[in-house]
């Protein structure tokens, strides 16, 4: 059904594109729309012509289907899958990189403006951020090591919100509440005047959750400032403090899910339940960043950014209790040349360096309290890479990019309590090239091709998983990615179609395993071949502020994955030719956004996920599911105060599904049932 809907939508878009009349000054319904500008690879150019696979999520996308959650907007991009096994437990997958992420975000580099969110150990606490403070997101699909360092999954570039007009100050208050005792509140202040922009965000979120023992509480305060001290110098500041606690209900078997999908993981004859052990996550993080942009001359620019963070992390688990104290420091410096001409010559070079110091205590867990069987490790992680990229645009129809980076990563372990263990591990330095080109044979059509090498050392969370153990024998994964694509647009910016095919051959792929006690560990899986097809389409059927229907916007995304193990034999079992664990066969996303003259709006979103292999043997698969979401409400004003009242509906089809499975789970406890049909009512006021 959804495939028919998807292809019918593309057909209607094409028909609509052909049927549009030429733009005239008298007809505002056909006015040109602004092109999407992307910053990835230092391009600062139209997404139409950039020779790379980049998914763009605008601020309107972030607000259109959920004002408090990143999932709907990210999952509307082909090749991208953001999961939430229980409230607060984010996992991000770009082209199958989820294989390494039982929880958290790994193998994907994430930046917030100039600042590093990914730490020196390779982990990112994406769940600490607040949607209200994000202006847009660019998702680079596939290896991006030539500019952004180690990581075979890709990179995400987040941007903060910016006041729309100069010399303005605005307050925005948003409150929402709904199913499962959910309460969400945020206050956002922005000001822009006299060369200074700054914003202050405070937010709170709490919910009992759909399942037993799945409650969450999150508090965040963030300060973001930009100061233009002179025509050539801009200084940016970021300060963020987040206090997050969410319970982890654990996976269920298919039979347990059928009996009661809302239960947490029950006790067994050998192990206590998730509730009895108070399994949960406590995360308190302070992150501070300072950056400086110095315009040396009309063509030369230097950007320096320093990021520091301190985290207190505790994880009572069913079989153990882990406590971490994490300190991270990162520095990125980029030197840029841009001749500013149509025949573009742009060159950038730089360095990124990170160090992390981690003190990790592991012990037994007695109903949420650590026992005396304690092991303490002090771990130091260091990574460094230098990079350079050249962009050439010899004519308006050609663009060439060539980039290269040299990467180094290592860690040292000093066990100060428990069985003696000391050592240093240094991975072979890697050179990661990328070559790409785009060609516009006729107006409105662009082809691109790129070849890039990816490299990713195991993260510290894989060397020393939170459920216990130490795995220093893990090897780094690496491989070559080749892709080609086409983009089609109309001259008024109302229609854009982007489609690409790729093949990524990965060696030593890192795969999650689980032992009899439920503790996770990781192994290298030999060779993996990832072939895929991704298509995104966007069409503005109506964009006219004077008509009754002011906006009618359609979006569709299709992802087809053929990811397979080529040589993989764990514990003597050969899985050659099997589908890659945890990756859906296909996904389809379709959305309609509409606005009306009377202030009403109606946004509809549907996401279908195909079957997913849940273990390496491919003997267990998830069922297909369709997630239907709706946001409707009214926007207006009263005495110069902007008001929005909205109703969010999630899983309106009441499908039984998991928004994140426990892959390769022992005892076949793969399933983390997501909420059934649920609603949230909210309002926002802007002064």
In the predicted model, what is the mean pLDDT of residues 55-66? 88
Q: What is the Cα–Cα distance from 253 to 532, expressed in whole angstroms? A: 30
List b or e across 9-46, with b for residues whose CB sees 16 or more CB atoms inside 10 angstroms. Answer: bbeebeebbeebeeeeeeeebeeeeeebebbbbbbebe
In sequence order, which residues have a C-beta less than 8 Å from that of residue 255 and are 6 or more positions away? none
Per mean pLDDT, which range of 36-45, 300-309, 482-491, 614-623 is the poorest? 36-45
Residue 16 confidence (pLDDT) above 50:
no
pLDDT confidence of residue 669:
94
Question: CA separation (Å) from 647 to 58, 66, 176, 532, 602?
Answer: 21, 10, 9, 36, 10
In sequence order, which residues have a C-beta less than 8 Å from that of residue 235 and are 6 or more positions away? 226, 227, 229, 290, 291, 292, 293
Per mean pLDDT, which range of 32-46, 275-289, 333-347, 580-594 is the poorest? 32-46
Q: Which residue has the higher pLDDT, 521 or 304?
A: 304
Question: CA separation (Å) from 258 to 46, 112, 318, 623, 625?
Answer: 49, 41, 23, 13, 16
% of the chain surpassing 70 pLDDT? 92
Per mean pLDDT, which range of 16-25, 80-89, 387-396, 657-666 is the poorest? 16-25
pLDDT confidence bin for 244, thresholds 50/70/90? very high
Residue 165 confidence (pLDDT) above 60:
no
Which residue intervals of 176-295 are DSSP H helices? Answer: 254-259
Q: Which residue has the higher pLDDT, 373 or 264?
A: 264
Q: Which residue has the higher pLDDT, 525 or 71?
A: 71
pLDDT confidence bin for 545, thresholds 50/70/90? confident
Q: Which two tokens stand for residue 113?
A: 């403006």
Q: Name the E strands within 520-640.
A: 520-524, 527-543, 549-567, 586-596, 600-609, 625-638
Cβ neighbours, 10 Å, residue 519: 18
Q: Which residue has the higher pLDDT, 478 or 571?
A: 478
Task: List beta partners, residue 246.
Answer: 216, 281
pLDDT confidence bin for 266, thresholds 50/70/90? very high
Per mean pLDDT, which range of 97-106, 190-199, 442-451, 488-497 is the poorest? 97-106
Q: Which residue has the higher pLDDT, 586 or 514?
A: 586
Residue 21 and residue 30 in contact, taking contact as beta carbons nearer than 8 Å: yes
% of the chain surpassing 90 pLDDT? 64
State the distance between the two ends of the chain, measured CA to CA, in whole angstroms: 44
**338 CB burial (10 A radius; 0-12, 13-18, 19+):** middle
Q: What is the Cα–Cα distance from 170 to 414, expressed in whole angstroms? A: 51
pLDDT confidence of residue 197:
87
Per mean pLDDT, which range of 30-44, 229-243, 368-382, 650-664 is the poorest? 30-44
Per mean pLDDT, which range of 17-26, 313-322, 666-675 is the poorest? 17-26
Q: Which two tokens stand for residue 396?
A: 């308006």
Which residue has 């709170």 as its token pair? 204
Residue 592 and residue 64 in contact, taking contact as beta carbons nearer than 8 Å: no
Q: What is the Cα–Cα distance from 146 to 480, expressed in whole angstroms? A: 12
> Nearest CA to 312 among 279, 360, 280?
360
Per mean pLDDT, which range of 387-401, 456-470, 542-556, 627-641 is the poorest? 456-470
pLDDT tens digits, one per residue of 128-164:
998 888 989 999 999 998 999 888 889 999 998 766 5
Residue 42 confidence (pLDDT) above 60:
yes
**If residue 13 lies in a helix (H) or strand (E), which one and from where to where?**
helix 2-19
- CATH number of 2-16+37-256+299-686, picked from 2.40.170.20, 3.40.50.300, 2.60.40.10, 3.30.230.10: 2.40.170.20
Highest mean pLDDT out of 454-463, 471-480, 539-548, 549-558: 549-558
Task: List beta partners, residue 445.
Answer: 442, 488
Q: Name the E strands within 467-526.
A: 477-489, 495-507, 510-514, 520-524
Which residue has 């593309």 as its token pair? 10
Residue 670 confidence (pLDDT) above 70:
yes
Q: What is the Cα–Cα distance from 651 to 66, expressed in whole angstroms? A: 13
Task: List beta partners, residue 508.
Answer: none
Which residue intervals of 138-209 are DSSP H helices? Answer: 145-148
pLDDT confidence bin for 466, thresholds 50/70/90? low
619 three-state secondary structure: coil
Q: Name the E strands within 317-374.
A: 321-338, 344-363, 365-366, 369-370
In the predicted model, what is the mean pLDDT of residues 628-654? 93
pLDDT tens digits, one per residue of 481-496:
999 999 999 988 899 9
pLDDT confidence bin for 230, thresholds 50/70/90? confident
Cβ neighbours, 10 Å, residue 508: 18
Mean pLDDT over the full length of the chain: 89
pLDDT confidence of residue 403:
95
């Amino acid at each position: 059904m959804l495939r028919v809907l998807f292809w019918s939508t593309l057909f209607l878009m094409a028909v609509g594109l052909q049927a549009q009349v030429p733009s005239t000054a008298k007809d505002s319904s056909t006015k040109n729309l602004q092109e999407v500008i992307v910053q990835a690879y230092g391009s600062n150019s139209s997404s139409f012509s950039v020779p790379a696979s980049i998914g763009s999520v605008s601020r309107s996308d972030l607000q259109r289907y959920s004002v408090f959650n990143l999932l709907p907007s990210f999952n509307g991009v082909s090749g991208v899958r953001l999961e939430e096994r229980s409230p607060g437990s984010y996992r991000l997958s770009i082209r199958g990189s989820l294989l390494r992420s039982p929880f958290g975000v790994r193998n994907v580099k994430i930046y917030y403006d100039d600042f590093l969110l990914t730490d020196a150990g390779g982990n990112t606490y994406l769940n600490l951020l607040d949607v209200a403070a994000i202006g847009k997101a660019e998702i680079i699909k596939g290896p991006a090591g030539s500019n952004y360092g180690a990581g075979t999954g890709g990179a995400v570039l987040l941007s903060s919100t910016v006041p729309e007009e100069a010399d303005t100050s605005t307050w925005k208050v948003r409150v929402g509440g709904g199913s499962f005792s959910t309460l969400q509140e945020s206050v956002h202040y922005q000001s822009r005047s006299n060369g200074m922009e700054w914003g202050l965000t405070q937010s709170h979120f709490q919910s009992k959750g759909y399942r037993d023992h799945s409650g969450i509480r999150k508090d965040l305060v963030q300060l973001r400032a930009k100061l233009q001290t002179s025509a050539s110098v801009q200084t940016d500041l970021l300060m963020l403090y987040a206090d997050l606690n969410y319970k982890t209900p654990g996976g269920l078997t298919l039979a347990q899910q059928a009996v009661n999908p809302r239960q947490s993981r029950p006790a067994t004859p050998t192990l206590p339940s998730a509730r009895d052990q108070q399994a949960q996550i406590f995360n308190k993080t302070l992150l501070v960043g300072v950056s400086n942009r110095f315009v040396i001359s009309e063509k030369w620019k230097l950007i320096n950014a320093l990021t520091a963070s301190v985290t207190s992390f505790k994880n009572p688990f069913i079989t153990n209790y882990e406590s971490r104290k994490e300190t991270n420091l990162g520095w990125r410096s980029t030197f840029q040349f841009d001749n500013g001409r149509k025949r573009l010559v742009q060159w950038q070079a730089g360095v990124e360096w990170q160090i992390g110091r981690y003190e990790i205590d592991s012990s037994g867990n007695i109903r949420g309290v650590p026992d005396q069987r304690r092991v303490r490790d002090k771990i130091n992680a260091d990574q460094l890479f230098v990079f350079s990229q050249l962009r050439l645009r010899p004519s308006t129809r050609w663009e060439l990019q060539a980039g290269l980076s040299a990467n180094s990563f290592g860690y040292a372990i000093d066990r100060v309590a428990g069985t003696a263990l000391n050592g240093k591990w240094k991975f072979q330095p890697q050179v990661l090239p990328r070559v790409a080109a785009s060609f516009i044979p006729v107006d409105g059509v662009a082809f691109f091709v790129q070849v890039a090498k990816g490299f990713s050392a195991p993260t510290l969370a894989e060397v020393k998983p939170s459920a216990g153990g130490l795995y220093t024998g893990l090897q780094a994964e690496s491989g070559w990615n080749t892709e080609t694509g086409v983009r089609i647009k109309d001259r008024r910016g109302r229609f854009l179609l982007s489609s690409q095919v790729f093949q990524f051959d990965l060696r030593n792929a890192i795969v999650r395993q689980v032992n009899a006690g439920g503790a996770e560990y990781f192994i290298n899986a030999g060779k993996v071949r990832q072939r895929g097809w991704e298509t995104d389409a966007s069409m503005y059927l109506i964009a006219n502020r004077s008509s009754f229907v002011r906006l009618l916007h359609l979006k569709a995304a299709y992802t087809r994955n053929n990811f397979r193990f080529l040589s993989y034999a764990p514990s003597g079992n050969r899985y050659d030719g099997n589908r890659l664990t945890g990756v859906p066969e296909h996904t389809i996303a379709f959305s309609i956004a509409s606005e009306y003259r009377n202030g009403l709006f109606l946004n509809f979103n549907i996401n279908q996920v195909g079957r997913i292999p849940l273990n390496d043997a491919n003997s267990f698969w998830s069922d297909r599911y369709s997630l239907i979401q709706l946001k409707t409400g009214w926007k207006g004003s009263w005495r110069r105060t902007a008001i929005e009242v909205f109703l969010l509906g999630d899983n309106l089809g009441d499908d039984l599904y998991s928004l994140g499975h426990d892959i390769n789970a022992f005892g076949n406890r793969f399933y983390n049932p997501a909420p059934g049909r649920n609603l949230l009512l909210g309002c926002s006021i802007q002064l």
